[in-house]
């Protein structure tokens, strides 16, 4: 038994960063992992494998070169699971090495085992060789999530899989039905359709990804149609049947049957809290196993923090890392600010989507008079070069002060591109920044300038003076 300054449960992005941050503050830290490998779902079944898959698909399908070679161009005719898994496994292995290395370098003890609370400062850890007990001043729960598997869905991990199941299949499905149009559903639907699979995406709501800008989603939905995804929005699943010829049929409430060789049922994710013995400390997870935290990621028990997917939305690796760091800083009395309005969101669909700052609906609700400036990738040289016909970048800015309020992008490289706007928002910059700036040519970054010019040109002229801007909507013209 040992006493630590901090014990971290879970080695995903949130846990890693909490541990490393505490170690950098010269604290004694141990991190506990239940699986045989570190990294959490991010490395092993989630983010990294799906992003590696995406990169492999983009490459092998020749998608990136479609502008030059046409939509039907393909480098490799039949992409196999082996082609895809090969690269994935390589990346995953390397990432695991990097994490183990980082822990070792920072003198973070790595304990392989399943942790549960004994009391608010004590964890019992079941390892292969027996049970250990360690105590700590602070404990960070970063155990992440797993796919929810509702009891009425006959998962068999072969023809009916959850969202973690695709990468362990022996053979690629010939056709796929995805139920659930969340981030993961959209990512897999677009990636697999790009490979040439027939994909049907079923979603209960009238549109995909409700937290994303409407115009961006329209572009995504359009593009999905182009690459062969059939969208079934506003549809509910009534029943699921497996037929003897190996097909799976999903019956929708509207009477439509949807048949494919494989069904991926995405019913959201559940927090991994059941093994933690939380009753011992009096923390109660919600019905999805998630934990409630305050703005400093403290649970109801102040010295026990929770960070990452287990605290719910947005459940992105990027934000989880920041949460982990924030929790560790807060625990040891270091000032830490997480500026939530500056968090970027990245969705790795094809095309990818990213955004930072506010969206139109939020601004309208807050009665902030905003202007919109749009650039389409096809208007700039780099967009021509990569042949991205869908890509667009949209700036939202204050009509009077021209302060940048939000950036929304869809298209190749959107998740990288967004960070330029993020910096300008962080410094309270105006869209004039983009006009007075020289960007490398040809790059996608030029979209910022084109969008800013577009936005300014749309403002009524002469540009309103300070005094009568409050009522833009009623300006007499």
| Residues near another protein, by CB under 8 A | 13, 47-48, 51-52, 55-56, 59-60, 64-65, 67-69, 75-76, 82-83, 86-87, 90-91, 94-95, 98, 316-319, 321-322, 337-339, 342-346, 354, 379, 381, 384-386, 413, 415-420, 422-424, 426-427, 429, 433, 436-445, 448
> CB of residue 456 vs another protein: minimum separation in angstroms?
11
**CA nearest 53: which of 200, 201, 192, 162?**
192
> CB of residue 172 vs another protein: minimum separation in angstroms?
15
Tracing tokens 């001043």 back to the chain, one arrives at: 137
Residue 398: how many other CB atoms lie within 10 Å: 17
Pairing of strands 130-141, 304-306: parallel
The rounded radius of gyration (Å) of the Cα atoms in the chain is 24
> CB of residue 436 vs another protein: minimum separation in angstroms?
6
DSSP 3-state assignment of 349? coil
> CB of residue 105 vs another protein: minimum separation in angstroms?
11
Name which of 159 and 382 has its Cβ closer to another protein: 382
Name which of 277 and 338 has its Cβ closer to another protein: 338
Can you read off the two tokens belonging to residue 314? 């947005």
Hey, CA dihedral for 143, 278, 289, 164, is it positive or negative?
A: positive
Name which of 291 and 414 has its Cβ closer to another protein: 414
The phi, psi pair for 441, rounded to 5°, reads: -120, 130
Name which of 21 and 143 has its Cβ closer to another protein: 21
Helix H or strand E segment including 19: helix 13-24
Name which of 137 and 379 has its Cβ closer to another protein: 379
Contact 19, 108 (CB under 8 A): yes
Name which of 87 and 204 has its Cβ closer to another protein: 87
Contact 437, 372 (CB under 8 A): no
The CA distance from 135 to 115, in Å, is: 12
> CB of residue 136 vs another protein: minimum separation in angstroms?
25
> CB of residue 246 vs another protein: minimum separation in angstroms?
27
Name which of 29 and 123 has its Cβ closer to another protein: 29
**CA nearest 378: which of 169, 116, 66?**
66
> CB of residue 280 vs another protein: minimum separation in angstroms?
33
Tell the burial category of 277 from Cβ atoms under 10 Å away from its Cβ (0-12, 13-18, 19+).
middle
> CB of residue 322 vs another protein: minimum separation in angstroms?
5
> CB of residue 462 vs another protein: minimum separation in angstroms?
13
User: Which of the 8 DSSP states describes residue 390?
Assistant: S
Name which of 1 and 335 has its Cβ closer to another protein: 335
Strand order in the sheet with 198-202: 160-161, 262-265, 175-179, 198-202, 229-232
**CA nearest 79: which of 199, 197, 183?**
197
DSSP result, 165-193: SGGG-SS--SEEEEE--SHHHHHHHHHHH
**CA nearest 201: which of 238, 233, 174?**
233
Name which of 94 and 284 has its Cβ closer to another protein: 94
Cα–Cα–Cα angle for 319, 217, 177, nearest 5°? 90
Helix H or strand E segment including 237: strand 237-242
**CA nearest 357: which of 449, 434, 429, 435?**
429
- Helix axis angle for 47-60 and 183-194, nearest 10°, is 30
> CB of residue 356 vs another protein: minimum separation in angstroms?
9
Name which of 289 and 308 has its Cβ closer to another protein: 308
Contact 442, 408 (CB under 8 A): no
Name which of 152 and 170 has its Cβ closer to another protein: 170
> CB of residue 233 vs another protein: minimum separation in angstroms?
27
> CB of residue 354 vs another protein: minimum separation in angstroms?
6
Name which of 2 and 342 has its Cβ closer to another protein: 342
DSSP 3-state assignment of 291? coil
């Amino acid at each position: 038994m040992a006493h630590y300054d901090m014990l971290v449960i879970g080695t995903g992005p949130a846990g890693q960063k909490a541990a490393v941050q505490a170690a950098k503050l010269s604290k004694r830290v141990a991190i506990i992992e239940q699986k045989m490998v570190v990294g959490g779902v991010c490395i092993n079944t989630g983010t990294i494998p799906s992003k590696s898959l995406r990169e492999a698909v983009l490459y092998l399908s020749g998608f990136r070169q479609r502008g030059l070679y046409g939509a039907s161009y393909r480098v490799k005719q039949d992409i196999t699971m082996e082609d895809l898994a090969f690269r994935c496994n390589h990346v995953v292995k390397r990432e695991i090495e990097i994490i183990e290395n980082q822990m070792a370098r920072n003198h973070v003890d790595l304990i392989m085992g399943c942790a549960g609370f004994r009391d608010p400062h004590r964890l019992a850890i079941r390892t292969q060789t027996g049970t250990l007990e360690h105590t700590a001043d602070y404990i960070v729960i970063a155990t992440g999530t797993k796919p929810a598997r509702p009891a009425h869905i006959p998962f068999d991990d072969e023809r009916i899989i959850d969202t973690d199941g695709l990468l362990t299949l022996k053979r690629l499905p010939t056709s796929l039905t995805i139920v659930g149009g969340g981030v993961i559903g959209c990512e897999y639907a677009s990636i697999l359709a790009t490979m040439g699979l027939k994909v049907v995406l079923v979603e209960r709501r009238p549109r995909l990804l409700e937290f994303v800008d409407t115009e961006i989603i329209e572009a995504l939905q359009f593009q999905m149609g182009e690459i062969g995804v059939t969208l079934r929005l506003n549809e509910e699943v009534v029943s699921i049947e497996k037929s003897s010829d190996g097909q799976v049929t999903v019956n929708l409430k509207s009477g439509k049957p949807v048949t494919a060789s494989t069904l991926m049922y995405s019913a959201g994710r559940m927090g991994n809290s059941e093994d933690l013995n939380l009753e011992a400390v009096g923390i109660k997870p919600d019905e999805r196993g998630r934990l409630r935290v305050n703005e400093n990621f403290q649970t109801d028990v102040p010295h026990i923090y929770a960070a990452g997917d287990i605290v719910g939305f947005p459940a992105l690796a990027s934000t989880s890392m920041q949460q982990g760091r924030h929790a560790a800083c807060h625990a040891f009395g270091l000032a830490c600010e997480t500026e939530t309005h500056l968090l970027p969101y990245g969705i790795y669909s094809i095309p990818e989507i990213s955004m930072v700052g506010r969206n139109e609906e939020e601004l309208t609700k807050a009665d902030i008079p905003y202007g919109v400036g749009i650039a389409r990738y096809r208007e700039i040289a780099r967009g021509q070069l990569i042949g991205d016909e869908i890509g667009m970048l949209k700036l939202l800015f204050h009509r009077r002060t021209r302060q940048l309020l939000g950036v929304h992008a869809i298209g190749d490289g959107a998740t990288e591109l967004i960070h330029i706007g993020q910096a300008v928002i962080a410094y309270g910059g105006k869209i004039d920044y983009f006009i007075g700036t020289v960007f490398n040519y040809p790059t996608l970054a030029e979209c910022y300038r084109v969008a800013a010019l577009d936005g300014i040109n749309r403002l009524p002229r002469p540009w309103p003076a300070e005094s009568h801007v409050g009522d833009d909507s009623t300006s007499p013209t």
